């Protein structure tokens, strides 16, 4: 992620210079009925996207997604309302642009030269690598020459150009396209064993592996490629381009882009197949008995986050005990339990109530300058290594010209608390900062898996219920994707 931060700075400088150069000439400065003027006159920024946890997703907490939050901020920058249209395929999104039903596409799309013949691309906001994916347990191909089976990609995707380039070196390479399934759908097909191979982007794959752990990466099919928005190409109209450049320059300079990158991508990390499979199995076998308690005592955080914390602490084992004497689902010390009126640390309800109460106290104790949506990560670091050591990490961050109120900045300094040349100058001395860093990152990954896995279970149940209603009570329920020919 360090390289991305450097890119943000360079992108911001370049965008600002280009925006200044374009300013006197672009129509949006004059308001002459160009793309930007039409958006402002309409009072709406119309955005088309694919539904996924990374780009756009409906949730009980409201709309979420990296692209959604960026697009919402862009709409606010323009002073208009954001209107989002969800699609299931890439081609249908571009149809919206062709028929002027959308002003732009915001859906984690890779920069592609072929697309530039008909559309324009906005600034880069992160980068990905295209990767070949297969199912865990099958033979791993080392190159396109080793492909033995069905390879499918979505129509309209940048993956087609990648395969066309690969076929010049590997003339026997064959593949098919589908206009019915999105890249995400095809990744699910591979995980389910219904398709041998597909191409996906590295970020989406890494996120989906938290829910579909049998997805395995064979090899990188491309180098790093920028991810960008797309919008209509209109002769002599740079209005929307100039506005985007200025917007991305601002959010690069003020740290907003880095904060969003940390929120959605900063905790992706390395993938552990065995650990993820074990966790997903525990969701089915152990969580149902504890879920009512997490929902009851979660207080000011999502219950699924509280459940992820508990799993990191004890793997949801009420009898768990560490060599240092902490015990229970939330692994409370005897002293902490006493202060929280927890008489029996091995009682699941008492432990969860006490752990949630203590975590809430830590969040309330955080400096008010820390943004509300990041206070939980600081509190978790304090939960793991102590409040004083968390303050030391903030102090180190400030000393090194970072932002002590930004979790993205502070977490980078946590491992320094292990090193004498740093902790010798702190107030509270040595701390297991690397452990605290891994602790928070693991919790965020467990939360990602838990949220995604529960959503998939709910979706499958809804599909089965819909099929049952269509087929009638006398017919057996089959897998929804099989019934739909997927």
**What is the C-alpha separation between 152 and 57, in angstroms, rounded?**
25
As beta bridge partners, residue 83 has 46
Marked catalytic residue, from 69, 225, 262, 313: 313
Q: Would you state the structure tokens that stand for residue 277, as one six-digit string?
A: 């499979």
**What is the C-alpha separation between 13 and 20, in angstroms, rounded?**
11
Element counts in the chain: helices (H) and strands (E): 20, 11
Give the C-alpha distances (Å, rounded to integers) separating 160 from 49, 82, 113, 217, 222.
20, 31, 12, 18, 12
**What is the C-alpha separation between 106 and 93, in angstroms, rounded?**
10
Give the C-alpha distances (Å, rounded to integers) separating 275 from 192, 446, 457.
19, 10, 20
Percent of residues in the chain assigned helix, strand, coil, to nearest 5: 55, 15, 35
Map residue 127 onto helix, strand or coil.
strand
* Burial class of residue 349 in the structure, from the number of CB atoms within 10 Å of its CB (0-12 exposed, 13-18 middle, 19+ buried): middle
Map residue 452 onto helix, strand or coil.
helix
DSSP codes joined into one string, 234-280:
-TT--HHHHHHHHHHHHHHHSSHHHHHHHHHHTT-----HHHHHHHH
* 313 part of the active site: yes
- Phi (first) and psi of residue 7, to 5 degrees: -60, -40
Q: Please list the active-site residues.
A: 313
């Amino acid at each position: 992620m360090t390289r991305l931060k450097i890119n943000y700075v360079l992108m911001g400088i370049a965008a600002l210079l280009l925006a200044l150069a374009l300013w006197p000439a672009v129509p949006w400065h004059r308001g002459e009925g160009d793309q930007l003027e039409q958006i402002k006159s309409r009072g709406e920024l119309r955005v088309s996207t694919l539904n996924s946890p990374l780009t756009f997703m409906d949730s009980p907490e409201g709309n979420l997604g990296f692209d959604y939050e960026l697009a919402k901020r862009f709409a606010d920058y323009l002073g208009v309302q954001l209107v989002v249209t969800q699609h299931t395929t890439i081609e249908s999104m571009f149809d919206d642009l062709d028929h002027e039903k959308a002003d732009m596409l915001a859906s984690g799309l890779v920069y592609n030269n072929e697309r530039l013949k008909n559309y324009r691309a906005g600034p880069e906001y992160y980068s990905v690598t295209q990767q070949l994916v297969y199912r865990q347990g099958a033979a791993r191909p080392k190159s396109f020459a080793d492909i033995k089976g069905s390879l499918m990609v979505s129509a309209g995707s940048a993956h087609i150009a990648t395969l066309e380039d690969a076929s010049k070196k590997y003339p026997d390479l064959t593949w098919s396209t589908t206009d019915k399934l999105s890249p995400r759908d095809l990744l699910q097909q591979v995980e389910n064993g219904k398709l041998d191979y597909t191409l996906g982007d590295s970020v989406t794959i890494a996120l989906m592996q938290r829910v579909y752990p049998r997805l395995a990466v064979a090899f990188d099919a491309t180098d790093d490629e920028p991810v960008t928005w797309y919008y209509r190409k209109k002769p002599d109209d740079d209005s929307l381009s100039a506005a985007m450049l200025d917007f991305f320059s601002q959010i690069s300079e003020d740290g907003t882009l880095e904060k969003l990158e940390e929120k959605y991508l900063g905790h992706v990390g390395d993938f552990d197949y065995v650990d993820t499979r074990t966790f997903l199995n525990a969701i089915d076998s152990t969580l149902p008995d504890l879920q009512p308690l997490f929902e009851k005592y979660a207080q000011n955080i999502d219950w699924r986050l509280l459940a992820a914390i508990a799993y990191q602490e004890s793997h949801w084992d009420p009898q768990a005990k560490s060599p240092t004497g902490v015990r229970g689902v939330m692994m409370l010390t005897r002293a902490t339990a006493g202060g929280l009126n927890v008489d029996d640390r091995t009682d699941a309800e008492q432990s969860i109530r006490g752990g949630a109460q203590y975590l809430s106290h830590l969040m309330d104790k955080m400096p008010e300058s820390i943004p509300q949506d990041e206070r939980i990560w600081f509190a978790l670091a304090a939960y793991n290594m102590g409040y004083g050591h968390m303050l030391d990490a903030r102090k180190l961050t400030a000393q090194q010209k970072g932002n002590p109120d930004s979790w993205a900045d502070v977490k980078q300094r946590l491992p320094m608390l292990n090193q004498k040349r740093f902790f010798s100058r702190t107030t509270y001395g040595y701390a297991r900062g690397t452990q605290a860093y891994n602790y928070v990152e693991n919790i965020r990954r467990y939360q990602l898996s838990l949220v995604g896995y529960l959503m998939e279970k709910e979706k499958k149940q809804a599909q089965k219920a819909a099929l049952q209603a269509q087929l009638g009570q006398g017919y057996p329920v089959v897998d929804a994707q099989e019934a739909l020919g997927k």
